Every structure is written in structure tokens, then in C-alpha cells.
Chains A and B, each alone.
Chain A
């Protein structure tokens, strides 16, 4: 059991503050735990709160962000709009140092990301690893089996290395000019670098890309924003998080279908999620679908009503709504319909195009709840901030008119 005192976070005090008011409303609240169901809706109101529910998501790291308002906005804007690429290449194991070929690249994933917009586009492809050096088949197979499980031979989806590299370069650097920064985790850097060089050799394309480490990027952003250096342990634990391992729309199709955790694309996307979840929120950015996989946090589980005393009122209400209006949940999702435009090479997905919706998932949920439960007036303050979103999704309007 975790230390309870330690988990007294803002939410706890928020609820504590609300207790007198709830009592006035005649609700039977003896202690904080009792009051939670009545408060979660209110808690979700202030728009600048980060996504994570207290005590639940990752970063419990205790550092106190300096007062955001005191910092200059200009540098923020540059930082927020800045575009980074996260890249990873998987190999069928690592061969011993005396071999000329140290890695056998087999999968590549890359995402285009900015703090402001989240994941803008992604690129994924399987790579044909080429001939496996004689005698190392077992070694490679064992390495593959223990991680990404991509078959070492007879795997149809593997593209040849020259094409993949060309596509990657077109993805990262479609126009002439300076190359954008490309990042990967420091542990993976030697491998990714080797693979890039190797593929470049095979395809005779010049290797202009400079690979930097994500750890340094995080340190950099943090330093720029708060003018002090975060600890290495903090950065590492920030990036090493299990909660999105099984999130939808994170792994590539093949790994998702085969339910394998290790996917090059997923590694890149998870870096983006982690940075969004911990850094972007410090800038006061609203997390969107493009930042973290919000859709997973909409009610998708069925709960046995008779046994459950749900602590979060919004889920319960939503469940009721779900049962009444089955179309609701499906209408809110525009996932997966990938409209590939001619300009982009295969493997590239532009998420901005189909995910035009922006705004916090929780707020959207609340909106739907409020519109059908009678206390709609409570949300009038939020209404303004939600208008662009409302106009795009007329599904909700019709929905609210039903109630």
C-alpha cells in the first residue's frame, strides 16, 4: 500500500474544500473519499489542468514548476511551435564486434512532433534485413523472438533498404534547406545511427541527418522554460513509462494485430506522449488526441452496475448515456480513415488532416454529459472556449437537442 500521506495532492485539497458545500446540498459526505464522486465534474472544469487524474498517471516526480506567467512568451512560442522528429530503427539483434555487419535493420518508425500540435504525422515501414550472415540465424531469431518478433525471413512486408531510406528522407525533409533535428533515445542511438549509415551505403544516398538524443531534448526544453537543469533520473523516468504500451493507434498495424509490444513506431509515439504529458502540460497546452491517446480514456469498459460504486461521477453518467444512445461514442471518433495524399510516400500518415478536432477529451465528455443532464448552466463558462470545436461536431448538437 502506498503511503497515503504522500498522495495528498491538489485533488485531495480540492475535494476537501468542496465538502462544506456538498454538505450544504444535503449530501452524505463524511470524508474526502465520499465526496470524490460529487467533485470530479467540477475538478475537470478549469481548462488548464493537465490530463492526468491525480495520483494515477505517471509523473509523481516532485518538482515545482516555476510560475509560468513570469516567463517570456516569445521564447515559449518558438519552443512550442518547433518541430522535432523522433526516429527509431529495430534490428534483428546485434552481431558481435568482429562482424562487419553489426545490425540487421528490420523496422523503422518516425514521428513528426511539436509541443503545440502533438504528433503531426508518422512514418512507418518494415525493412528487408537482407541476407543474414551465415551462422547467425539462431542469434538473430532469438533476438527477434525476445522483442519485436518480426520474422527474419519470408516476411512479405519488408521493403528494400534504399526505398525505405528515400521515403524516410522525403518524410523528414521534403523540401531543400536545412534538416530538422531528429531524435532517438540515447540507448538506441548507436544502433539507429549504424542502420542509417548502412542503409545509406546500400542506396548511395548521402547521409545528412544528424541524430540527437531525446534525453538532451527534454533537458533542453526544460532548461529553456524553467532555466534550471532537471535531473537525469527524472528525464529517464519521464521517458520510460508503461502506461501507453497497449494504447490504440500507437503500434503499427502488424504489431497491433499480433499483439506485440515492441514496435519501432510505438517507441517514437510513446516518446511523444511522454513529452506531451509531462512537458507540454507545463506550458499550459491543452492535450489533444494528437498529444496522447485520449480516446482510450473514454468509457469503453462495461461495468457491472449492481456491484459498483463508481468514484468518478463522469464515467458513471457517461455509461448511462452510452446505453441510451449507442451512436454517441462512435460519432466522436474519426480514427483510422487514412486519407493518404499523393505528396507523401508510403508509410506516412498525416494525423493533422483527419484529427482536426482539438480540445481536451475530458471537457468534451463533460460537455456531452452536461448537455443531457439538467445542470447545463454550470458549464456556461466553458462554452466559449469550446465553440470552435462545437461548430465542427454537429453530432453533439443533435445529441443535446435530444435530451
Chain B
């Protein structure tokens, strides 16, 4: 059991309130724990490239095909791409109604606000060309805006595409204007599309409108979110400053257009890079200063207050001083000192500081040379948290106190934002120009589905709390456990005294849960990975069932080398335990219980089950993530149940070379799982339900067009006559809506098993939200399920309850978890492979949960 892996696994189960501070833009890197906000540095914010070769020859269209309006940085915002996938219309059984009915109704408040539009609201999209062609976007905009025809109209223009609320008289309008240099430029404005308010393009326009509005509330956009630097929260003892902010979006929900807002925080350090450098200088002295500086600073994200932009420090140029000059875009030479004075009215105090170098991301995807930005340390504030800070418990606690808002606190912040938008004159004016009306906060009715009973070997247990039933099942026997007769403990010379008592403990808890543990062989080795490996190589033979390594330090290389060897070269289940864990006084019993459970699973045992009425059902979890060493490799984890009780699992992992998180190899995996099922059940499963995790924004269509066919064809191939029915469900741990339950005149997190399948869902999808985790601190985050393919024809009610039941079956945690167990297993497997093994684990282990 590695500390890292454990922390993550637990983090999912018992501290489920989301990382609400500044969302990472790209797929979250495993290293950035909850609070660190490592936004990809946003380079100079000019929006969209003006060269869009979209020429709609067919004249005016009103469809949404090929929307080309580009978001920040020239990309189509990814979440809008998903909206084009209309899966519900293909699913006959939910076309009319996708809501369930079982369970107790519960009134919920959301973080969604109504946004009212007039009935006939329409947007007109124009394409603007300049003759002669102009390169400068700024000039293009200035020339267009100076015309009286457009002067007072509601408009959005990115340099090429113009959106207007009112239609121009002519389909093609020609204007001409004169530049400062006296050139005459002809501007041709051609109507290309008329867009209804439900078009995804409109949501992008709404986003731009709200961007303007939030700017008027003196909030700054950093990355994707908006922050308010004028009301910082200081944590002086750790030199931290938090900027409160919001992430907002406008989108079409089930029945209406809704504005959603969530609270987030930007973590800044209250010191500048220059102060940090000075500190470091006093600590290290001159001789190793530059090296220490580079070691500490490179890779950090800094924020420059004068323009509120973030940059990554890629290099430090020690030869350049602020007094040196550089060439501005217009060719004039100016010194850094003068530039900051002129441009921002900032006087630099230290004229001997070096400059930081940041590579700016090329906006076009061509291979032009990267541009470089020089930054003055004095003006750069460090952002995010160092790994040192993240491991500081007290610091994280102090941070959590601010950032983990209770439902009530969150609601207050949301109410304030709504209030600000409605009261601010400029904001209101902007809304009115576009014909929008900012409405009230939406509430809806959810349902609480009944809680599940846990089936043990000879008794059924109704847990006191579904979040953690470890106490309830302590005296119960587990479903099945192989007897552990021949196993090894490898430890270093110093750990002996611990082992004796631990072993006794393990045997005792083992016997009470029905897991027979014999005495192991003890092998004592030197404390280094080589010695551990050598001992394993020497002593493991065909009969050894399990190897336990007692490690004295949490060093990754130990764990990695053992896991790598034990899962591919010499496939035997292995269990790593830290000496520190065994030294915890008074915890021995619970530690031993936990380890005994893990060991049982690794040997292929089953711990508990829940009542699942569907017979002959196979559930599958798929997760995809990037390899930690080689970013070009994607790790695809696939875990399928192989018995009707859904207690035994077949787990496989394949590495594939790709840049996206889309799986290529599902056919091999699915056929493998079906063969395994056939072996155990002498037939094929009647139904297969696949839960797919690890899907990024904008990948939905690819999934439908690429992954679902792979699964379908493998199901079809495996049987000649009646093939199994298949459902594919996309699982998202992050979603926009939040739900609060009103109770005793205050707000609380909704209870476990709350299902929301109306109002906050999308009209084109068969989707629902399920709360299957408890937040002890902060606000609970619902899990979002989107059924993208379904020929099982299960009622929505049954689909929701089945999903909830599956959240009970994760054997590494005796309680509910936030995603269905197969997904969590697949995640655990991909995590082990991506972090430690970096190659496919041996198939001999596929029948056990060797990666727990």
C-alpha cells in the first residue's frame, strides 16, 4: 500500500467536496492536488484569429453545422463541441421521458439562474472581409466600430465574424472607411446565418456578454474564471493570498436557458519573485545562488498584477537588466524601466534584477518559432502551491477553511453575484441591450433512492451510514477468501519487532473475517530497492501466493520497482506496507483489517455484495489516462465483472500511443472479458453496461463515433445468434450544477442517494446526477452520468438505481464512493500503470484486483 495511492483513493471517498479553487484548464495533472491552480499560462489575450476561411456560399443558413466562431486563444471552447451530440433522440425508450419515479422527493436549490429571452430572439451572424486585406485585428475592429450603422447596436466582433442582435437591412452591406495613413478600405459585411437562441454558437456569444458584464463588476479573467482582486483573503502565516472568484457559463438546460455560477479561488503567494529571490540569496549565499534559484523557480506560474496575466517561468536570463532595452512591436527601442513607467506607470526599484523568461504559446498550430516574454521579477507574484506546501497539513487546513465553503456560505456568495449583476447599472444595461433578463435562482425536485443492504457471507447488514460501514461489518464473514498458505514478508533489518505484532493482528482479523492466513516466510534484506528485488527473485517460486514488502520509506522508486517486477516480470500479487503505518499505536487493528481486506482481493477473494435483481449482467468500467513518464502514451484500464453477483472482476490494461484520451483497443479488451465470462458462466451475459470515465470536454462525439462501435462489434462478434444488449454511460466527476437541500431554514448537502434527472439536465441527452458521496467539509459534488448508447431499454429508474448500487462495490473502501466501482477499479489500475509500471501488467493477474 503506497501512501500516495492511498491518499488519493481515500480522498475520493471521504473528502469529496470538490477542489473548487480555480479549475485546471486542461485535463488535471495528477500532481496538482486540490488547491494548486496551475492554469496554463494565458498569453496575451487576443481573441481568435482573424483568418477564418469560412465562406458560406449557400447564403444564409440557420443550422449549427460547422460553427466556426472561436473562443479565447483561437480554440472552439470544448464543452460547446459536446452539445452537438444528440444521443437521446436515438434512444426510443427515453425520448419522451427520461425521469424516474422511485424514492422520496426532495426540494433542492441549485447554483443555476434563469436567463429569460424574448420568444423570437435571434442572432445574426455576418462574415466581414476587408479590401485590401488587413492583418491587424485591432485595426479591423476599430474601422468597423467607427461606422454609424453599427454604432449603437448590440454586437460582438472578433475580427472576422460579427454577431448582431438586429438584422442589417441588406444581406450584403458594403462600407468604406479610411485609415490614419489615408488608405481607403472597403468593408464587406455578409450575412451568413440566423441563429435561434438554442444554438451552441449563441452560448458562446452569451459567454462573451457575461465576460463583459463581469469586467464591469471589476472582476478580472484569469484562465477561464473571473476573480475579484479588490477583496482578497489573506492567510498571512503562510504568505498566501486568495482571490475569490467565479466560474460562470451559460447553457441550454432541459427546459430553459440557464446561467450557472460556482465559487472558486485563486491561490497567490503574497511575495514577489524578487522577494523570493532575495530570501533565497540570504539562505544560500552567492556561490550556489543562481543554481538554487533555477531549481526553485523554473516551472512556477507567476501572475503579473499590471495586466493580471499568468506566465510560466521557463528560464531566467541573468545577463539582462531592467535598464537594458528591447524592441517594441513598432520597432522602437525602449528600456524595461521606461516601458513599465510609460505603459503601466510602475517604477521599478531594483535595477539589477535579472529577467524571467517565459515561452508564449503559439496561437497558431504551425511550427513557427515560439515567442519569448521577458518579465521583471519585482512585478511577478508567485501563484499556486509548492509540493512542499501541499504536504503541509496545517497550511492545507487553513486553506480549506477558506475555500471549502459550506452549502450556506456558497449560497450567500452566489446570491451576492446575482445581486451585483442586477444592481450594477452598466451590467444591467449590457443585459438589456441584448434583450436578456437575469432571473431568479432555480430550485427543483430531486429524489432520494432507498439505501442498500450489504450482503455478507451469512448475514445481511443494513449499515448505520452508507458512507462507511466498516464498523457494521466488523464481525461478519466476507463472501469468499482463498486461504493464504504460502507467502513471503520481505522487510529490512530494523522492522522485526513490528512485524511480530502485526502478523498476529493480521491473523486474528483474518480469522474473524474468514480469511485464513498462515505464517509467512520472513526475509530480511538491506534497505534498498535492489536488495528487495533480489530477495523477491530468489524466493518467489510458482507456489508463492503473495509477497508483502515492508518498506521503511515512502520513496517512489522502491514501490515502483517492486510493483513493476511483481506485475509483469514475475506475476505474483504484492502488498507494500510502510513501517510507519505499522507503527501507529492503537491503530493496529484497523490497519490490519484494511490490509487483510486488500490481500483477500489481491488473491481473488470477494468481500461483500449488494442485491442486484438483473441476472446475467456484466458491468464494465473504463478509464483512460496519460502515462506519467511518456506523455504520448495513453493507459487504458478496463475492468469487467465476471460473475452474476458482480463480485469478481477481470482487469486489463493496455498502453497505446495516442495524443487523445480515446481508446483504440476496446475490442481486444471486451472480447477478452466476454471470453472470461463465458468460461465462468457457460454463456454470454444478457446485458452489458459500460461506465466510461476519463472523458474530457469535447470528446463526446468521438466516443460515440469511435468507442461505441468498437464495443458493439465485439459484442456482436462474440455470439452468432442473440448478442448481448449494451449500454454505454459516460461518467463525469466534474459538472456544473451543485445542489443544496433546504432544511430547518438553513442549507445542507443533499443526502446520499439523491438523484436529479430534470431541469438541470440537458434536453438532447439521457442524463442524470447522482450524489453517492458524503462531504464532511464543504459542498458535495454530484456525479454526472450521460447514457450515450443504450439498447438494454432499462427504465431510467432502474438505470439510476443500478448505478447507485454499483457505487457500493469498491472493495478498497467499506462505504459508498462517488463513481461506480468498476470505474474506480479501472482508475486505480490505470493509476498504478501510469505512475509506476509503465507497461502492461501480466495477464496472469487479470483475475484478481492486484492493483488495489
Write the residues of chain A forming the contact surface with B, with a CB cutoff of 8 angstroms. Answer: 1-4, 6-7, 9, 12, 33, 36, 53-58, 96-99, 132, 134-139, 141-142, 146-147, 153-154, 240-243, 245-248, 259, 261, 296-297, 300-304, 307-312, 315
Contacts and interface: CB of A to CB of B under 8 A. Distances in A.
Contact of B538 (A132, A241, A301): A301
B561 A242 contact: yes
A2 B569 contact: no
A261 B561 CA distance: 9
B564 A2 contact: no
Contact of A141 (B299, B541, B845): B299
> Which secondary structure characterizes the binding site on chain B?
mixed
A243 B565 contact: yes
Contacts of A3: 844
11 contacts: A53-B541, A54-B542, A136-B314, A136-B359, A137-B357, A141-B299, A296-B534, A297-B537, A300-B531, A301-B526, A301-B534
A302 B629 CA distance: 35
B844 A2 contact: yes
A3 B545 CA distance: 10
Interface residues on B, range: 35 or more
Given A246-B530, A297-B538, A141 B519 contact: no
Contact of B523 (A36, A246, A259, A301): A301
Contacts of A137: 294, 298, 314-316, 357
A300 B299 contact: no
B380 to A, nearest CB: 15
B521 A57 contact: no
B216 to A, nearest CB: 37
B564 A242 contact: yes
Contacts of A248: 530
A1 B542 CA distance: 10
B450 interface: no
Interface in B608-645: 628-629
Contact of A7 (B312, B357, B542, B565): B542
B150 interface: no
A302 B294 contact: no
Interface string B343-368: 00000000000000111000000011
Contacts of B845: 2
A138 B537 CA distance: 39
B543 A134 contact: no
A58 B569 CA distance: 5
Contacts of B367: 96-98
Contacts of B628: 146
Q: Max chain A CB contacts within 10 Å: which of B299, B530, B603?
A: B530
A242 B604 CA distance: 25
B534 A297 contact: yes
A82 B369 CA distance: 47
B534 A308 contact: no
A1 B521 CA distance: 17
Interface of B: 291, 294, 298-299, 312-317, 357-359, 367-370, 372, 482, 486, 493, 496, 519, 521-526, 528-531, 533-535, 537-543, 545-546, 557, 561, 564-565, 568-573, 603-604, 628-629, 839, 842, 844-845, 848
A138 B844 contact: no
Q: A240, A242, A301: which has the most chain B beta carbons within 10 Å?
A: A242
A132 B298 CA distance: 14
A377 B573 CA distance: 41
B368 A243 contact: no
Given A57-B537, A153-B291, 8 more contacts: A57-B570, A136-B314, A137-B316, A137-B357, A141-B299, A243-B570, A297-B537, A304-B523
A134 B569 contact: no
B312 A138 contact: yes
Contact of B519 (A134, A136, A307): A307
A134 B372 contact: yes
Contact of B522 (A7, A96, A304): A304
A135 B844 contact: no
Nearest to B299: A138
Contacts of A54: 541-542
A301 B842 CA distance: 28
Contacts of B370: 96, 98, 135
Nearest to B372: A135
A356 B526 CA distance: 29
A138 B538 contact: no
A241 to B, nearest CB: 6
B535 A308 contact: no
B534 A300 contact: yes
A254 B129 CA distance: 63
A213 to B, nearest CB: 17
Q: Counting chain B CB atoms within 10 Å of each CB, which of A7, A98, A138, A245 scores highest?
A: A138
A308 B522 contact: yes
B752 to A, nearest CB: 35
Nearest to B358: A135
A398 B769 CA distance: 79
Nearest to B317: A134
Given A1-B604, A54-B541, A57-B537, A138 B298 contact: yes
A241 B291 CA distance: 36
A70 B162 CA distance: 81
Interface centre among B299, B542, B570, B839 (most CB of A within 10 A): B542
Contacts of A56: 537, 540-541, 570
B699 to A, nearest CB: 25
A371 to B, nearest CB: 22
A301 B523 CA distance: 8
Contacts of B530: 246-248, 296
Given A134-B372, A137-B294, A246-B533, A301 B541 contact: no
